[in-house]
Amino acid sequence: MSVRIVSTRPFDDQKPGTSGLRKKVKVFQKANYLENFVQSTFDAIGDFSGQTLVLGGDGRFYNREAIQTILKMAAANGFGRVLVGQGGILSTPAASHVIRKNKAYGGLILSASHNPAGPDEDFGIKYNIGNGGPAPEGVTEAIFARTTEISEYKVLEASNIPLDSVGSFKLGDMQVEVIDSVHDYAELMKSLFDFAAIRKLLAGGFRIKFDAMHAVTGPYATRILVGLLGAPVDSVMNCVPKEDFGGGHPDPNLTYAHELVDVMYADDAPEFGAASDGDGDRNMILGNHFFVTPSDSLAILAANAKAAPGYRGGIAGIARSMPTSAAADRVAAAMGLSCYETPTGWKFFGNLMDDGRVTLCGEESFGTGSNHVREKDGLWAVLFWLNILAVRQTSVAAIVHEHWKEFGRNYYSRHDYEGVDSAAAEQVLQNVRDQFATLPGQMLAGREVASCDDFAYTDPVDSSVSRNQGVRVLFKDGSRIIFRLSGTGTSGATIRIYLESYEADASKHDLDAQDALAAMITAAGEISRLRKLTGRDAPTVIT
């Protein structure tokens, strides 16, 4: 086996977004495209000679082929060992844990998260650093800079590694260990949650339904929920990972997880339902005929943290992304904890967790997690909810209503307009920016506007500054309208509008969120001129 030096030229579209580089599969399949990005990553991350790399993905189309290429490039570039998930499978939170447990130099995670998969759909790759979390902006900027000047890459000429059986193999001077994708993660979950109490709950007739959406969490849910916790086999659905996710869109929300929603809103619905996404880092929580918003879920987990053994010593603090509702802030205030508001992107939580400032964190985009890893973690959130339900012995709806009674309800919704022309999407936000000077003091949606801004964040740990993180219209009563462009798609733009209104009166907590926010929804459309610019009469997705 010998190292081959391949001449190449830069591509002009390899700037990583908030979650790495995402493109259509056919883009990644272009000659040298994947190799350029991988080599640029290796060139930018420092001296890893003899170190360990973690590698795996969500099982989508092109996952296995990309892994073989990366293994040969890792060997050619001097890594001493690569830990790769069996079958090429590693959920994103599991990869984070494997990095941390093995003190790896870093990891490459192959996923486009909740985006569709298949030959004509999406693929992605991101680098996670040694703390298990997504690469910070300084690292991603260095990777991008290298992609603009790369002229060659290194690859070992060797046969493919068999990925389907656990074992150890040599690839040149590098050791490749194909590891059980689930074992380490399952052991971590056992250390955090009261599995005996959850087993007792499930044995007592409490019915659950978990939808893996034919994505990466299928093997994890089957091993943990059925194998370790004793749930009936039919408690899990769509648990065989498929390269095209069964033709579905593995985004766990009320629109795309409709199969689970139908189950949970049927006459004979189970008591608890949940879904996870393509790479296993997102979650949706449902009760019998009841949907828990991700913002409320974070707040409820924080308020009930001591139900779980791993958090009985208390939590250090809470962090949420700026568009996420302020429900968690109210819990933090009541518990005497710090609460941090960060830009969207899990990497912003990493510094706070590493510095011991926060334990729990979450995003409104169905992501919740804690300092057990440095990624959001869908199945962790499901187990946390089951632990709380086992302790409190009541329904999901009752827990949420009791939480609102104590803390008040933050009516909240996100409206997504997907696949919008990029120029039109930019103009929607600019229209709001153009009114920053005139909106304060005006009445909008029956409320007085207090201020407007483009959210900026100064990291309290390293003092790094992130600007232009979302256009905000803030009201004197605490209500908010926020506009952002999503960085998770591969074509066009997604406009996200976040709407929030706080209600303390428990007698007014049973309104439909869209009804409660109707005036704000109308106002958001008017000040942005979204309908005229995009031609859209309604959102693609409402959550």
Query: Which positions are annotated as active-site residues?
Result: 113
> Encoding tokens for residue 178?
């194909």
Q: Please choose, from the candidates 259, 256, 289, 258, the residue with its C-alpha nearest in 3D space to the C-alpha of residue 272.
A: 289
CA distance 107 to 1: 24
Helix, strand, coil percentages (3-state) for the chain, rounded to 5, are: 35, 25, 40
Q: What residues pair up with 82 in beta bridges, in sequence order?
A: 53, 176
Position 66, amino acid: A
542 neighbors 488 (Cβ within 8 angstroms):
no
Is 277 strand, coil or helix? coil
Residue 206 has what DSSP assignment? -
For residue 109, CA distances in Å to 28, 86, 379 come to: 15, 14, 18
Instruction: Provide the pairing of β-strand 338-342 with 317-321.
Output: parallel
332 neighbors 355 (Cβ within 8 angstroms):
no
For residue 381, CA distances in Å to 289, 353, 368, 453 come to: 19, 17, 7, 33
Which ranges in 434-517 belong to alpha helices (H)? Answer: 513-516
CB atoms within 10 A of CB 105: 21
CB atoms within 10 A of CB 68: 16
CA distance 256 to 20: 23
End-to-end CA, the chain? 53
Is 63 strand, coil or helix? helix
> Encoding tokens for residue 539?
């959102």
Strand arrangement of the beta sheet that strand 493-503 belongs to: 443-444, 447-454, 471-475, 480-485, 493-503, 409-420, 541-542
* Angle made by CA atoms 273, 124, 535, in degrees to the nearest 5: 75
